[in-house]
Structure 1
Amino acid sequence: MKIALLGYGRMGQTIEKIAIKRGHQIVLKVDENTKDYDITKADVAIDFSIPSVAFNNITNCFKNNVPVICGTTGWLDKFDEAVDICNKNNGGFIYASNFSLGVNIFFELNEQLAKMMKNLSEYNISMEEIHHTKKLDAPSGTAITLAEGIIKHTSKNNWALDVTNNANEVPIVAKRIPDVPGTHSVEYASEVDTIDIKHTAHNRQGFALGAVIASEWLVDKTGIYTMKDVLGLQ
């Protein structure tokens, strides 16, 4: 499989190593200094770029019949527009706030717990996420996905960053600490006990491996998919 890497930071470099180890070829590496490139030489593109260029990266793939995996967060105000362009061009697309296989299982666990807790009003819900200091957005896309999973199954109607006193919102605390790949926790606390679920990434390998596995799955497909499709969790 011929892969284009759209974004060649730490994640792009980790993806490159894993993809090569799995027998794939990196035919294109695009960073902020790359001006003109031919995306059509790739069988699939993997975008881990920055919010300001992600939309242009992925829609360029759609228009050139190259399926694309996108793990960049912070650009989702244009997500519906991207989906429309994908559909008009009969493209293939997987977006995930986190491609880690463990995190996607954690997403499912989070929703199941929310279903069980939805009628237990004595429990207060809170979330915390910790990432490295170079992460540009807060809260993380992963934290937002977790919050949306809670909102889907409870009386909460929104999430809020660093707010703790609104009964209708899921409060998220975002911390930035050097060299932390990503930690996410969800807490249900009452006067008598506390229930916690937590996912801790030890390195970037899990994110990169999940992105490569997703690209292997997406090649030669058209349509809009999620990691639930890739992992058979639907």
Structure 2
Amino acid sequence: MKIALIGYGKMGKAIEAIAKERGHEIVLTIDVNNQQDLTVENLEKADVAIEFTIPSSALQNYLLCFDSGVPVVSGTTGWLEKKDEVLKAMQQKDGTFFYASNFSLGVNLFFALNKKLAELMKNRSEYDITMEEVHHTQKLDAPSGTAITLAEDLFDIHPGKTSWTLESPSQAEQMHIEAIREGQVPGIHRIKYESEIDYIEIEHSAKSRQGFALGAVLAAEFSAGKKGLLSMNDLLNL
């Protein structure tokens, strides 16, 4: 499979290494130094594009991929206020868009665990719920896209929480998310249910970027020949 890498930071380089190990060819690499090479003509050389950039450039990158007819797999977070615009453009071009806030297989199993625990605890009003996420200092958005996914999944099930805040909650329905940026931490997410007598906590901790990179390459392989909006739930059959 021929892959275009849009974004060639630490994640892009990790994806490149795994893609080559799995027998794929990198036919286009885009970083801050050669943005002018991100064209429909160049994208058409690829079977799929993998996009890990920044929120301000993600939308334009997606549109170029749709224009080129190339499926795009993206892990960029912080752009979801433009989700309707992206999906409309995808539909107009009969495109393929695989999006995940986190491509780690373990994190996506953690998403399922979070939903299960929320279901078990939804009638336990004596437990307050908080979240903590820790990432490296280069991560621009806070809370992380993964934390937002965890929070929204929880809100869909648990009636006690309806929104999140990075500040001290002003209402009982708000869930506090502590977003910590330190060192080179790949990613830690903790969800705690705490009462006056005990607490229950679940945690996922990434050891390296390798899990995210592998998931992105698997998503690219999965997207071949498919149309529409795809997710890790489709890939993992969750």
Where does structure 1 lack aligned partners over 5 or more consecutive residues?
Answer: none
> Which moved further from structure 2: 111-120 or 33-42?
33-42
CA distance in 1: counterparts of 2:168 and 2:77, whole angstroms: 22
40, 44, 63: which one pairs with 2:44? Answer: 40
Where does structure 2 lack aligned partners over 5 or more consecutive residues?
Answer: none
Identify the residue that residue 31 of structure 2 maps to in structure 1.
31
> Which moved further from structure 2: 161-170 or 100-109?
161-170
State the secondary structure of the residue aligned to 1:224.
strand
Identify the residue that residue 137 of structure 2 maps to in structure 1.
133
Q: Please state if 1:205 is matched with 2:207.
A: no
Contact 1:162 1:174 in 2 (8 A): no
Offset of residue 76 of structure 1: 1.1
CA distance in 1: counterparts of 2:175 and 2:71, whole angstroms: 34
Q: Please state if 1:196 is matched with 2:197.
A: no
Contact 1:132 1:177 in 2 (8 A): yes
Q: Please state if 1:153 is matched with 2:154.
A: no
What is the CA deviation profile of residues 136-180 of structure 1, one whole-angstrom value per residue up to 9, with x for unaligned ones?
Answer: 000000000000011010122111113244211121000011110
Q: Write the letter of the residue equivalent to 1:52.
A: S
Identify the residue that residue 2 of structure 1 maps to in structure 2.
2
> Which moved further from structure 2: 33-42 or 67-76?
33-42
CA distance in 2: counterparts of 1:103 and 1:163, whole angstroms: 27
Identify the residue that residue 171 of structure 2 maps to in structure 1.
166
CA distance in 2: counterparts of 1:151 and 1:170, whole angstroms: 9
**What are the residue-to-residue correspondences of 1:1-234 with 2, within 5 Å?**
1-34=1-34, 35-37=36-38, 38-155=42-159, 156-233=161-238
CA distance in 2: counterparts of 1:162 and 1:169, whole angstroms: 10
Contact 1:163 1:172 in 2 (8 A): no
Offset of residue 31 of structure 1: 1.1
Contact 2:30 2:37 in 1 (8 A): no
Q: Give me the TM-score of the superposition, normalised by structure 2.
A: 0.96
| Residue-pair matches, total | 233
Q: Give me the TM-score of the superposition, normalised by structure 1.
A: 0.98
CA distance in 2: counterparts of 1:114 and 1:165, whole angstroms: 22
What is the CA deviation profile of residues 43-100 of structure 1, one whole-angstrom value per residue up to 9, with x for unaligned ones?
Answer: 0000001111111111110111100101000111111110110011111111110000
CA distance in 1: counterparts of 2:169 and 2:21, whole angstroms: 45
Q: Write the letter of the residue equivalent to 2:58.
A: A
Q: Structure 1 residue runs of 4+, over 4 Å off?
A: none
CA distance in 2: counterparts of 1:165 and 1:206, whole angstroms: 37
State the secondary structure of the residue aligned to 1:188.
strand
CA distance in 2: counterparts of 1:145 and 1:218, whole angstroms: 22
Q: Write the letter of the residue equivalent to 1:89.
A: K
